[in-house]
Amino acid sequence: MSKGRLFVISAPSGAGKTTLLKRVMPRLTGLSFSVSHTTRQPRPGECEGVDYHFVARAEFEKMIGEGAFLEHARVHDNLYGTSRMAVERLQQQGIDVVLDIDVQGAAILREAGLVDAAYIFIAPPSVAELERRLRGRGTEAEEMIATRLANARAELAAMSSYEYLLVNRQVDESVELLTAIILAERARAHRFPDGRAIGAIAER
């Protein structure tokens, strides 16, 4: 059985990453989402074990000490981390894994060189459009919106370090493009669209 591929996907808050992944994931077999751990509080509609594993800061710091994370970073005064064991277990089953990681975490993985992954950055059409989307949520205070926009500018400066850049202008178009990237990576690794390894090609 071939080992599953890692897809590291980063985007500024409000760029539409979650929306795209929710539409792409059901379209492709052999693809799983790595549920990160975080110390932040759940947003309305988020579920434990589905969107994130929500843990107390003391528990998160204990996991850091135990080497439980493939990477971890502080974002917006909260901690986020990717479970090493969960990712490796899926990969050993031949399942491709999507890692929803901010630019800090992606840089840690890239510079450490410990994992082989395809790095994808999802960007908004403009900072103005990003601000419109953040305000449209209606869930965050003005101060937090200002913080997210400042962080977004810094994150956008890092997009040139990614192998793939997807500008999310229109959702349907972006869903097709993200799907195509994953399928292309599978073909490059000599795997069928469903993720299975391609064996020898028959003569007839």
Write out pLDDT tens, residues 47-57: 999 889 999 99
Check whether 138 has a pLDDT greater than 70.
no
Half-sphere exposure of 130 (CA within 13 A, CB side): 25
Tens digits of residue pLDDT in 71-99: 888 887 899 999 999 999 999 999 999 99
pLDDT of residue 75: 80
Strands of the 78-83 sheet, one edge to the other: 53-54, 37-38, 78-83, 69-75
CB-CB contact of 146 with 134 (8 Å):
no
Phi, psi of 97 (to 5 degrees): -125, 130
Q: With 0.75 as the threshold, say if the pTM is over it.
A: yes
**Reported confidence tier of residue 139, pLDDT bands at 50, 70, 90:** low
Q: What angle do CA 95, 108, 71 make, to 5 degrees?
A: 55
Q: Does domain 6-188 have CATH number 3.40.50.2000?
A: no
CA–CA gap between residue 20 and residue 124 (Å, rounded): 12
